[in-house]
Amino acid sequence: MAFLDEIQRARREKTPREKLGRMARWEARWGYAFIALWMVGFSLWYLIPMAASLVFSLFDFELTNLSAARFVGLGNWRRLLFEDPLVWQSLRVTFTFALISLPVGMVSAFFLAVLLNSKHLIAANLFRTLFYAPAMVPAVAGVLIWSGVLDPTTGWINRLIAFVFQVDAVGPNGIRWLADPVLVYVAYTLIGLWGIGNAILYNLASLQGVPTELYEAADIDGAGWWRKLTAITVPMVSPVIFYNLVLGVIALLQFFVTPYVLTGGSGFPQGQTYYYMIHFFKQAFGFLNMGYGATIAWFMFLIALGITVLLFGTAKYWVYYAAERR
């Protein structure tokens, strides 16, 4: 959906190749004039730095002592791929977490949107605003709030579990959400649920665009709630699901604030929260290892590119673009 579709559409559209007339030249000049700001910005903040980043990855240097920079060829890349176990550990952590957090977040956003779209819901607009509100809580504040609510002794989550299930969950021997190497992923996933506000709204907007005739026809055929959901709603909303998936994967590769605020980048417990971005931050800005930092960043870019291409490749098998058929 949205800008991802726009890429597909723009690729199909042909720009006329014939020689431009006087009016067309005038128009083109003004067009370039308006986008000039972006073209300068793109060169300054994207094109040149990306190329420079690749060049940096061939050197070993520190910012404060540029004269000591040393050309190391593919040395940084060899180190990244074969000699730095933390790269693979942090990638394993990042992808393990993504495999838990992304489906949970996307399914929650979808079902919340279905509920918020229900014609039976009273005060729907108020609910929509309130469900979006946590997305407005600044990230650091949100993480600190969750770190309190997940506290084994004083947090409300353990108290609620103890109350509802009548088990002994509170106290020093209670559930230690942030200190258990497995539960910590559940905890981080819960924290991530405060960030699904946008995904809910995208799903909601898409649900409202599903033609009601489809449901009416399904009603006549005697389809139940679940059948309508899987056969009509999910395919019709699949472009949004695709969009949330692409942005979600890219965002999770850059996952940083939650682990950094909670652990300072230590990876506690047992390296389970040592995310790829934490590794990058430590190398580039902790040890000021700029050449190796650039290598880690470029590798992240290659991974992101690979995943994006892969996802776009699978899109035609499961993403339904109604507009394409017109």
Partner 1 sequence: MAAPATRPSAAPVGTPASAPQRVDGMHARNAVVRAAITSLVLVILLLYLMPLGYSIATSLKSKEQVSDVNAPILPSAPERFEFEGQTYDVYRVPTDEGEQRWALITPGRNSSMFVDTENPDAGLFEWEGRWRTLTPAYRLAFQWSNYQRAYEFIDFIRLLGFTLMYAGITTIAATASAAIVAYGFARFKFPFRNVLFIVLISTIILPPQVTLVPTYAFFFQLGWVGTWLPLIVPQFFSNAYNVFLLRQYFMTIPTSMEEAARIDGAGPIRTFVSVILPQAVPALIAVSLFHFFFAWNDFFGPLIYLAGNADINPLAVGLFRFNGLYSSEPQLIQAASILTMIIPLLIFFFAQRFFMQGIVLTGDK
Residues 89-128 that bind partner 1 (CB under 8 A): 112, 115-125, 127-128
CA distance 86 to 64: 26
Instruction: Tell me which of 97, 242, 243, 274 binds partner 1, using CB under 8 A.
Output: 243
CB of 267 to partner 1, least distance (A): 17
Instruction: Looking at residues 18 to 77 of the shown chain, list those that interact with partner 1 (rule: CB under 8 A).
Output: 20, 24, 27-35, 37-42, 44-46, 48-50, 52-53, 56, 63
Going through the chain in order, the beta strands assigned E by DSSP cover 59-62, 65-71
Which is closer to partner 1, CB of 130 or CB of 310? 130
Torsion of CA 288, 291, 293, 297, to 10 degrees: 150
| Shortest separation between residue 97's beta carbon and partner 1, angstroms | 16
**Considering only 71-79, 81-89, 132-140, 220-228, which stretch makes contact with partner 1 by CB under 8 A?**
132-140
Toward partner 1, which CB reaches closer, 155 or 267? 155
Report 245-284 residues binding partner 1 (CB under 8 A): 246-247, 250, 253-254, 256-257, 261, 264, 277, 280-281, 284
Residue selected from 72, 151, 189, 223 as contacting partner 1 according to rule CB under 8 A:
151
Options 81, 96, 99, 153; binder of partner 1; rule CB under 8 A: 153
| 24: CB partners within 8 A, 6+ apart | none
Residue of 148, 227, 266, 306 that binds partner 1 (CB under 8 A): 148
Tokens of 257: 């604030």
CB of 244 to partner 1, least distance (A): 9
Three-class SS string for 292-305?
HHHHHHHHHHHHHH
Amino acid identity at 295: T
Choosing from 154, 266, 270, 314, the residue that interacts with partner 1 (CB under 8 A) is 154
Please give the C-alpha separations between residue 324 and each of 8, 97, 235, 319, in angstroms, as whole numbers.
11, 35, 14, 11
Give dist(CA 99, CA 102) in Å, integer. 6
Residue the block writes with tokens 């060829």: 73
Which residues sit opposite 59 in a β-bridge?
Answer: 71
Write out the two tokens for 101. Answer: 């957090």
Q: Does 139 bind partner 1 (CB under 8 A)?
A: yes
Sequence letter at residue 72: V
Structure tokens at 322: 């109604």
Among 97, 177, 275, 298, binds partner 1 (CB under 8 A): 298
φ/ψ of 62, rounded to 5, equals: -120, 145
Q: What share of the chain is helix, strand, coil (3-state, %, to 5)?
A: 70, 5, 25
Q: Which of 94, 101, 113, 131 binds partner 1 (CB under 8 A)?
A: 131
Residue numbers 181-240 binding partner 1 by CB under 8 A? 193-194, 198, 201-202, 204-206, 208-209, 212, 239-240
